[in-house]
């Protein structure tokens, strides 16, 4: 396992500003989400905010083995699309959709990374409950990010809360350490199986200065997923709705600090 870099107060201050920039991009997209808007328009909004604040998009041209580099500033995932949806002028939001929007930026050598999901126009109460449970799961995991807990405790907090609400968690995709790179150690899954070690997940004790992204991915149906031919977009196999929320946080001697708030 790659060593985990514990951030200094000065480094955390830079990460906090990177997180603020991401949060501002989120707010601008929230205000723009409505029926008839394309995901390409939302991508342009986020890129403009990020660059106007002296940062650069972290997703743009992000490399992946056996797939083209990611072509956009945000991922925009609709309904049964869990994560990594590619923005397009042809993807037009419809009344009643769920849209998941994820973006990250590089700022002065560090990364901010966060995501949220929301309804487009009016949505049924059952769909709003899915969104509410996913967002609450994020804060349950943040509340578990305290000493003397371990990463396993954080993961199980997410899993137990979501499953008690009658939903599934995504098992193949995880949260992750964030710092100078967008994906660092430790891995922060949404569950913790007996096979965790075989998956390369290491249970480490939380320490002040650890920074990682917690990102619950909650599915209304079964947890089985598949990747589309574009090499990026991940969808539920049974076509069920899903949601995704994410914050980057810092562990402290007391309560965790959410680094990706406005």
d(CA 172, CA 262): 30
The pTM for the full model equals 0.97
DSSP bridge partners of 118: 99
d(CA 154, CA 75): 25
* Strand pairing class (56-57; 98-107): antiparallel
How many C-beta neighbours within 10 Å does residue 13 have? 13
Model confidence pLDDT, tens digit, residues 126-160: 999 999 999 999 999 999 999 999 999 999 999 99
Question: What is the overall mean pLDDT for the chain?
Answer: 97
Multiple choice CATH, 9-257, 3.40.50.300, 3.40.50.360, 4.10.80.40, 3.90.230.10: 3.90.230.10
Q: Is the pLDDT of residue 58 over 80?
A: yes
DSSP bridge partners of 116: 101
Q: Return contacts of 85-89, CB within 8 angstroms, 24+ apart.
A: 85/39, 85/232, 85/233, 86/230, 86/232, 86/233, 87/38, 87/39, 87/40, 87/42, 87/43, 88/38, 88/39, 88/40, 89/38, 89/40, 89/41
pLDDT of 1 reads: 72
Domain spans of the chain, in order of start: 9-257
Mean pLDDT within 243-261? 98
Q: Is the pLDDT of residue 112 over 80?
A: yes
């Amino acid at each position: 396992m790659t060593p985990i870099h514990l951030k200094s107060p000065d480094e955390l201050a830079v990460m906090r500003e990177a997180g603020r920039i991401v949060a501002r991009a989120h707010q601008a997209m929230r205000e723009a989400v409505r029926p008839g808007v394309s995901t390409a328009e939302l991508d342009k909004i986020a890129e403009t905010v990020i660059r106007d604040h002296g940062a650069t998009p972290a997703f743009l041209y992000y490399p992946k083995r056996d797939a083209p580099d990611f072509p956009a500033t945000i991922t925009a995932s609709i309904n049964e699309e869990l994560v990594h949806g590619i923005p397009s002028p042809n993807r037009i939001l419809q009344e009643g959709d769920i849209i998941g929007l994820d973006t990250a930026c590089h700022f002065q050598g560090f990364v901010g990374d966060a995501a949220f999901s929301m309804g487009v126009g009016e949505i049924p109460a059952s769909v709003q409950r899915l969104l509410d449970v996913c967002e609450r799961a994020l804060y349950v995991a943040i509340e578990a990010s305290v000493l003397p807990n371990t990463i396993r405790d954080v993961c199980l907090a997410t899993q137990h809360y979501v499953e008690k609400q009658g939903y599934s968690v995504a098992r193949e995709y995880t949260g992750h350490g964030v710092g100078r790179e967008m994906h660092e150690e430790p891995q922060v899954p949404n569950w913790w199986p007996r096979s965790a070690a075989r998956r390369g997940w290491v249970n480490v004790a939380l320490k002040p200065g650890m920074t990682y992204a917690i990102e619950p991915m909650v599915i209304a149906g079964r947890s089985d997923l598949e990747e589309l031919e574009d090499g990026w977009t991940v969808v539920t196999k049974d076509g069920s709705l899903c949601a995704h929320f994410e914050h980057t946080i810092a562990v402290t001697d007391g309560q965790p600090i959410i680094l990706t708030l406005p």
